[in-house]
Structure 1
């Protein structure tokens, strides 16, 4: 899998409690056409799916489950974050190195300037780490 540092949310980020991704993406402001009073609407991918990978890189132990949420906001502080996608809660017993959370593409509704992931952890895991980012494609064989 090819990961680009500029499109990386988390790099082997240890998760023992609910946390935001180490990094967020600044998608920049949309342009405003010269003859229009409003900025253009953001359309990530222009109708083409943009793959998003969130993969376990260190086995989770302890705890109950982990959910990966895709969040967007109009400010870098994420003071009014909007969740636009979710993996759903995945049981810790499933979270072994190599597991890919079911977030195949950046979801519709990711229309604001900033994007991050939020890891919602249930229980108290004692170990586990995730690497996540935008990728050119999701590897589906072994």
Structure 2
């Protein structure tokens, strides 16, 4: 999976309560995202989530008229995933984003991002990354990067 820094919505974002991604894509500027091809939101677990109880996390793809992703429209989502299934180095959680769905959004849905919805929380730890990619990263084995970019 090749990662583009401009399409990274979260980079090891700490999540203990429901939250939106730290980054957004401005569809008013990046109007041709995907250029007619399917895109995928690939979520990875950077820090395994923990909680006092049996918490869950749901991953959602959202658009909003506001840059802070408030009052979003959900265009794709996973089921609520138990934290016991969210282990480090697991295969990415992949949500397809058909380009036709992005183009069909109501006028004013200018910003694109993701939301992490914590159920039966809060979490006491947990961090996730989300990258938009143009091929399904759910195949093959994933390894930690072993490097950092300064």
Aligned length: 130
1:78 and 2:69 matched: yes
Partners of 1:11 and 1:26 in 2: how far apart?
Answer: 18
The runs of 4+ residues in structure 1 deviating greater than 4 Å are none
Contact 2:94-2:136 within 8 A present in 1 as well: no
Q: Computing the radius of gyration over CA atoms, which structure comes out larger, 1 or 2?
A: 1
CA RMSD in angstroms, aligned pairs only: 2.2
Give ranges in structure 1 of 5+ residues lacking alignment.
31-41
1:91 is aligned, of 71, 82, 87, to 82
TM-score (norm 2): 0.75
Give ranges in structure 2 of 5+ residues lacking alignment.
142-150
Give the corresponding residue for 2:116. 119
Partners of 1:137 and 1:109 in 2: how far apart?
Answer: 17
Contact 2:16-2:125 within 8 A present in 1 as well: yes
Give the corresponding residue for 1:134. 132
- Which SS does the other structure have where 1:6 is aligned? helix
TM-score (norm 1): 0.79
